[in-house]
Amino acid sequence: MIDDDTRALQAAVRGFVDRRIRPEIATWYEDGSLPVRELALELGQLGVLGMHLGGYGCAGTSAVAYGLACFELEAGDSGLRSLVSVQGSLAMYAIWRFGSEEQKQQWLPRMAAGEAIGCFGLTEPDFGSDPAGMRTRARRDGDDWVLDGTKMWITNGSVADVAVVWARTDEGVRGFLVPAGTPGFTAPEITRKLSLRASVTSELVLDDVRLPADAMLPEAAGLSGPLSCLNEARFGIVFGALGAAHDCLETTIAYARSRLIFDKPLAAYQATQLKFADMGLELGKGMLLALQIGAMKDAGTLDHRQVSLGKLNSVREAIAIARECRSILGAAGITLDYPVIRHSANLESVLTYEGTSEVHQLIIGQVLTGHAAFK
Ligand SMILES: Cc1cc2nc3c(=O)[nH]c(=O)nc-3n(C[C@H](O)[C@H](O)[C@H](O)COP(=O)(O)OP(=O)(O)OC[C@H]3O[C@@H](n4cnc5c(N)ncnc54)[C@H](O)[C@@H]3O)c2cc1C
């Protein structure tokens, strides 16, 4: 199912994470910082930015290869995978799928190389799970567009060179490319986060932001545009969350083998092994589901509701595994000396973004019953 090229690509991403991320991540996390510009260039060289897209400097890999890259990146840190997901699956995908040829030429090659960074502004302070209520508005003024509104919780916001902003117009929701530095556009960083600390999260404030007519993404009309982008990013999370869980389990098994309790390794107790067996089982089942979803995406038969199933399962099980591993580490588990509590805290964000668990349960509930229970 996984060919040699895909395995080689996965190994290259793992090597990058081992060399570049693992030695630094605890410090970045503690400081609440990530050297996004430097890393973006390195990730561009690695070929993972927009890797599953074709043309415009993108690698054009299979969906499974992209998923396995997300697995390895998130084994390093969910913040790293978020950087790559937002760049490739939200910002680049929106331009690639809905942009004009000029917009694609202008942004995609530089974004694939990590020379330009993108963000994706859909969520607002009062509208997260229900983006249809958005208040950000774009009105025509002659040939120009004028945007007003606030977006919230936007990954890469204050470091982005271009923001994909979704706004209500007289013709429904449309997407706009807002370059950094446009007068009236600011992106203050959100601080005091206790999850996804090694990731930039920002507000986007649009105050009479004037854009030329060609700033609009011509091919996206209505909410289906941004929702299709979210589906792309969710696909990466199906694999990514399992990467975080795998890192927790691997770390904890190694710890339990060397930690002596009552004169015996912790790993040699039946109670510990039962926990490991159950976690290994859930990880394995989650991986099989992820690979099946990946194979269906590559075959062109994947339905967005199946991605919901995968996101719900991967994140839920990853959180359970991270928590169990944290407790096996005892007091050591509460420090950044081990990656487990960092993954555990990160996964709380992953649970919430790209559709909360409840939203995905409601999507699956509708499939099972035929009744929409969102309202
Ligand atoms: C670190 C981080 C990064 C993010 N990055 C981005 C980004 O780059 N771009 C972007 O646009 N957004 C981003 N988001 C926002 C994210 O997508 C939203 O937080 C998410 O959609 C949830 O919205 P909310 O926080 O407003 O919660 P709410 O929608 O207010 O939900 C609150 C609770 O209500 C539950 N709920 C919602 N609807 C129902 C219902 N019908 N029935 C029962 N329960 C329900 C939810 O599951 C949740 O538990 C990010 C969020 C975080 C935390």
Interval 279-299: pLDDT, tens? 999 999 999 999 999 999 999
- Assigned token pair, 367: 């499939």
Per-residue confidence (pLDDT) for residue 96, from 0 to 100: 98
Q: State which amino acid sits at residue 273.
A: Q
**pLDDT tens-place string over residues 82-116:** 999 999 999 999 999 999 999 999 999 999 999 99
pLDDT of 18 > 80? The answer is yes
Residues 204-226 have a mean pLDDT of: 97
- Assigned token pair, 252: 């904890």
Are 74 and 244 spatial neighbours (Cβ–Cβ below 8 Å)?
A: yes
User: Distance between CA 346 and CA 319 in Å, rounded?
Assistant: 9
Q: Which atom of ligand 1 is nearest to the CA of 86?
A: 8
Burial class of residue 79 in the structure, from the number of CB atoms within 10 Å of its CB (0-12 exposed, 13-18 middle, 19+ buried): buried
> With bands split at pLDDT 50, 70 and 90, how would you rate the model's confidence at 1?
confident
Active-site residue, selected from the candidate residues 72, 203, 282, 354: 354
Residue 222's nearest CA partner among 177, 154, 168 is 168
Look at ligand 1, atom 21, and give the residue with the nearest C-alpha. Answer: 128
Q: State which amino acid sits at residue 230.
A: L
Are 286 and 279 spatial neighbours (Cβ–Cβ below 8 Å)?
A: no
Q: Which atom of ligand 1 is nearest to the CA of 373?
A: 41
Residue 64's nearest CA partner among 313, 280, 302 is 302
pLDDT of 161 > 80? The answer is yes
Active site residue 358: no
Given ligand 1 and candidates 77, 153, 346, which is best to mutate, with the most ligand atoms within 8 Å of its CB?
153
**pLDDT tens-place string over residues 307-331:** 999 999 999 999 999 999 999 999 9
Q: What is the mean pLDDT of the chain?
A: 97
pLDDT of 143 > 80? The answer is yes
* Beta strands per DSSP E along the chain: 118-121, 137-141, 144-155, 162-169, 172-179, 185-186, 201-211, 260-261, 264-265
Q: Say which residue the tokens 């902003």 belong to.
A: 165
User: Distance between CA 211 and CA 24 in Å, rounded?
Assistant: 40
Ligand 1 centroid distance, CA of 251 (Å) = 30
Q: For ligand 1, which residues put their CB under 6 angstroms from it?
A: 86, 120-123, 128-129, 153-155, 196, 201, 349, 352-353, 356, 358-359, 362, 374
Residue 247's nearest CA partner among 348, 355, 351, 346 is 346
**pLDDT tens-place string over residues 118-142:** 999 999 999 999 999 999 999 999 9
Q: Which atom of ligand 1 is nearest to the CA of 375?
A: 41
User: Distance between CA 54 and CA 31 in Å, rounded?
Assistant: 37
**pLDDT tens-place string over residues 231-279:** 999 999 999 999 999 999 999 999 999 999 999 999 999 999 999 999 9
- Assigned token pair, 229: 């982008």
Q: How many CB atoms lie within 10 A of CB 223?
A: 16
Residues 15-32 have a mean pLDDT of: 98
Given ligand 1 and candidates 199, 354, 356, which is best to mutate, with the most ligand atoms within 8 Å of its CB?
356
Residues 159-174 have a mean pLDDT of: 97
Q: Which atom of ligand 1 is nearest to the CA of 358?
A: 47
Q: How many CB atoms lie within 10 A of CB 231?
A: 21
Q: How many CB atoms lie within 10 A of CB 152?
A: 19
User: Distance between CA 89 and CA 234 in Å, rounded?
Assistant: 9
Residues 183-201 have a mean pLDDT of: 98
Per-residue confidence (pLDDT) for residue 232, from 0 to 100: 93
Ligand 1 centroid distance, CA of 130 (Å) = 8
> With bands split at pLDDT 50, 70 and 90, how would you rate the model's confidence at 343?
very high
